[in-house]
Structure 1
Amino acid sequence: MKKRNLIWLYLFLLVSILDILFTANGQSEFRYFSKPLIILSLYAYFIASTIAIKGTLLRKTIGAALICSWIGDVFLLFPNFFLYGLGAFLLAHLCYIFAFKIAQKNPFSIGQVNFIRLFFYNLPIYIIAAIAYFLIQPGLGTLKIPVIIYLIVIVLMVTVARERFGNTNPVSFWQVFIGGFLFMVSDGILALNKFFQPFPEAGVMVMGTYILAQLLIVRGIMAHGQEYKVVSPKNNP
């Protein structure tokens, strides 16, 4: 790995640690500087490390997901812009869903699907999402519909990540799947803290799982791109 790429990765790790420290110490005024730098440095690391797949749809969709995540991070720094932040992360998850579908062997082939088996494979994800919604539902108020839509999309993102099993190399699968699952966990903690029962450790837990989730997803996509030829709709036979 080139030293220039490592510099962006080290910057990502540095600002991530600083942001978690600021969160733990209640120094929210410093987070206006640290939080936006987290995804910006990760985006720079991803772009610098994926020159080999420059111009591909996979690289563009992951880049778009990171940009939407950055916009969401900025909006969530301001409580009054929570709904806008939710919308930005909704777009990020949609980009990730499409990227996870592309980052597979023969991503556009249509084969026989066993829906019953698929349901049971995804059942633990559905149960976790259902429990979270049951707990936060009384406190949602006017945000009920947007939160339901967001919940459906993030569940879809995690299930698409799980469905990559056997369709990419093991390193790529596990990093992307664990990253997607941690993203859902991070959003779940945030929702429980905001709509169910606030607790002091929530901020650190949200950021810790979120940062690790984004890093694992990016690293997992990079691992796929290194081993398999990237296929996009424009060149798919």
Structure 2
Amino acid sequence: MKNKNILWLYVFLIVGIIDLVLTAEQNAELRIYTKPFIILPLAIYFYQISKDLKGTILRKAMIAALAFSWLGDILLLYPQLFLYGLGAFLMAHICFIISFKLSQEKPFEIGQVNFIKLFFYNLPIYIPAAIMYYLIQANLGALKIPVVIYILVIVTMVTTARERFKKTNSSSFWQVFIGAFVFMISDGILALNMFFQQFPESGVMVMGTYLLAQLLIVMGVRAHFIN
């Protein structure tokens, strides 16, 4: 059964590579048939391997995150639906935050918090987010408030992933943290291309980092409950 489940990862990678090729060729017409099917096999894979977690909030949150990502992929195919796509990925990130919080030891334990130390730990996350916002803010117009909210949520997602350090196994921590950070990079490239300076390689860079991020997050959460 485990070997059969791995086939869904191969499907995810194959569809993702095909979509990357079409993105590089700027073939928007055919991408309508590939992009909506990127996340589906990854979601099926997680659904199959997480049956032991049936009924748990962790499983529901992860499946919801992948479902919102799937919806966001479809909506972002159409420029006029950008705000709705942004909303879908906002919900995906909130679900990922819940998943990251639950996929650690004693997730609700409250201990002493050194806010100064915490700030410096998270500084490598805050700096690129702040730079990206500084570069795009002049061109956001009416989207300024939604984009600010989105940036705050994705930064929270990455910091939540970082806070899992020593609260799960090493494999789970690094895959989830790197995946979350790469997700922020993917969104940053998309924002810079849309609101700062367009560049032809952006599409491939956005999708390449996006595929890697989703795969790492799923495999990282898997590593937590498998081990």
| TM norm. shorter chain > 0.5 | yes
Distance in structure 2 (CA, Å) of the matches to 1:194 and 1:223: 35
Q: Secondary structure at the match of 1:156?
A: helix
1:3 Cα offset (Å): 2.6
Distance in structure 2 (CA, Å) of the matches to 1:200 and 1:6: 34
Distance in structure 1 (CA, Å) of the matches to 2:79 and 2:4: 36
> In structure 2, what is the equivalent of residue 233 of structure 1?
none
1:4 Cα offset (Å): 1.9
What is the one-letter code of the residue matched to 1:67?
A: A
> In structure 2, what is the equivalent of residue 67 of structure 1?
67
Q: Secondary structure at the match of 1:107?
A: coil
1:21 Cα offset (Å): 0.3
> In structure 1, what is the equivalent of residue 79 of structure 2?
79
Find runs of 4+ consecutive structure 1 residues off by over 3 angstroms. Answer: none
What is the one-letter code of the residue matched to 1:11?
A: V
What is the one-letter code of the residue matched to 2:180?
A: G
What is the one-letter code of the residue matched to 2:190?
A: L
> In structure 2, what is the equivalent of residue 139 of structure 1?
139
Q: Report whether the alignment pairs 1:179 with 2:184.
A: no
Q: Secondary structure at the match of 2:206?
A: helix
> In structure 2, what is the equivalent of residue 25 of structure 1?
25
1:135 Cα offset (Å): 0.3
Q: Secondary structure at the match of 2:38?
A: helix
Structure 1: gaps of 5 or more residues = 228-237
What is the one-letter code of the residue matched to 1:209?
A: T
> In structure 2, what is the equivalent of residue 37 of structure 1?
37
Distance in structure 1 (CA, Å) of the matches to 2:152 and 2:61: 20
RMSD (Å), alpha carbons:
0.8
Q: Report whether the alignment pairs 1:124 with 2:124.
A: yes
User: Percent of aligned pairs with the same residue?
Assistant: 64
Which whole-Å deviations, capped at 9, do the CAs of 1:28-68 have from their partners, x for residues lacking one? Answer: 11111111111111101111111222221111100000000
Which whole-Å deviations, capped at 9, do the CAs of 1:80-132 have from their partners, x for residues lacking one? Answer: 00000000000000001111111110011111111110000001111110000
Structure 2: gaps of 5 or more residues = none
Paired residues, what number? 227
